[in-house]
């Protein structure tokens, strides 16, 4: 795999930002002149959690090794503490991740633009972001995955009052397009396939159970797994592997 740190200007954010990208490396013989055909790669957009950035997945997991075995590209953007939302007092991170990022990444690198070859996943805040982006853009992503996701965004308000004031201001969350429960209840058509997992010792566990039940009652195609584990990198490094297997089955 090639590991690329890509620094660029975002029109949506109106500032410079960065993403880390893994690209499959074609096999070639040293010293032999040959043309290497660039194929459009299936792509995983992999989102970080609240206190992290675009480097975190490559630093704390073996995602490069796992993706290399599949021959997939991985795009990991930076989104600050935005909850992947167009902020009331800040930047338009939802627009950036859902619209601008895929367009730019596909223009910079040989990435597929086919729905059936595009996937999005994340942990904690990123799990919420992955589900929000996929549920609001089912025409762009074949499937989405949340690991230990902060899926009941309204419930998380007391934990991050300063962040949420910047993100949402006084606008209501419940019943809006930032409310995953609202998106699930109002989705048109079959929607993206969803994969959800959470450790039984995680502080988000009960919220994940409630969201799982809501999705199943709404008739969404959701695969749910749970088991021992907390809100930590040991859990996420282990469980990104079944996430990738789930996505691979969708191809």
pLDDT, tens digit, for every residue of 56-86?
Answer: 999 999 999 999 999 999 999 999 999 999 9
What domains are there in the chain, each with its CATH number? Answer: 2-23+40-250 (3.40.50.1820)
CA-wise closest residue to 226 among 217, 49, 213: 213
Listed residue (44, 214, 63, 50) closest to 134, CA to CA: 44
The closest of 117, 156, 247 to 195, measured between CA atoms, is 247
pLDDT beyond 50 at 31: no
Contact (Cβ atoms closer than 8 angstroms) between residue 153 and residue 179 = yes
Answer whether residue 17 shows pLDDT above 80: yes
pLDDT category at 37 given cuts 50, 70, 90 is: low
Instruction: Say how far apart CA 63 and CA 205 lie, in whole Å.
Output: 24
| Residue 173 DSSP SS3 | coil
Please say if the pLDDT value at position 34 is more than 50: no
Q: Is 108 exposed, middle or buried (0-12, 13-18, 19+ CB in 10 A)?
A: middle
CA distances (Å), origin 75, targets 56, 103, 151, 155 = 12, 12, 22, 29
pLDDT in tens, 143-167: 999 999 999 999 998 999 999 999 9
Q: With bands split at pLDDT 50, 70 and 90, how would you rate the model's confidence at 39?
A: confident
pLDDT digits (tens, 9 = 90+) for 185-221: 999 888 899 999 999 999 999 999 999 999 999 999 9
Please provide the average confidence, as pLDDT, over all residues in the chain: 94
């Amino acid at each position: 795999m090639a590991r690329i740190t890509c620094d660029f200007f975002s029109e949506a954010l109106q500032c410079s930002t960065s993403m880390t990208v893994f690209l499959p490396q074609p096999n070639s013989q040293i010293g032999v002149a040959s043309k290497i055909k660039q194929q459009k790669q299936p792509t995983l957009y992999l989102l970080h959690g609240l206190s992290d950035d675009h480097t975190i997945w490559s630093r704390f997991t073996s995602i490069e090794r796992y993706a290399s075995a599949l021959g997939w590209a991985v795009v990991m953007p930076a989104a600050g503490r935005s909850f992947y939302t167009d902020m009331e007092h800040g930047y338009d991170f939802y627009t950036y991740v859902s619209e601008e990022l895929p367009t730019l990444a596909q223009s910079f690198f040989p990435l597929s633009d086919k729905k059936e070859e595009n996937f999005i996943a994340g942990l904690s805040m990123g799990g919420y972001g992955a589900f929000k982006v996929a549920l609001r853009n089912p025409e762009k992503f074949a499937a989405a995955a949340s690991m230990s996701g902060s899926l009941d965004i309204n419930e998380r308000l007391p934990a991050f009052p300063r962040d949420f004031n910047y993100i949402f201001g006084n606008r209501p969350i419940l019943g809006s397009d930032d409310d995953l429960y609202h998106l699930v209840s109002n989705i048109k058509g079959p929607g993206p396939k969803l994969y959800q997992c959470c450790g039984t010792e995680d502080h988000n566990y009960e919220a994940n159970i409630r969201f799982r039940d809501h999705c199943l009652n709404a008739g969404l195609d959701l695969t749910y797994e749970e088991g021992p584990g907390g809100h930590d990198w040991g859990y996420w490094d282990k469980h990104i592997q079944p996430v990738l297997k789930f996505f691979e089955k969708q191809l």
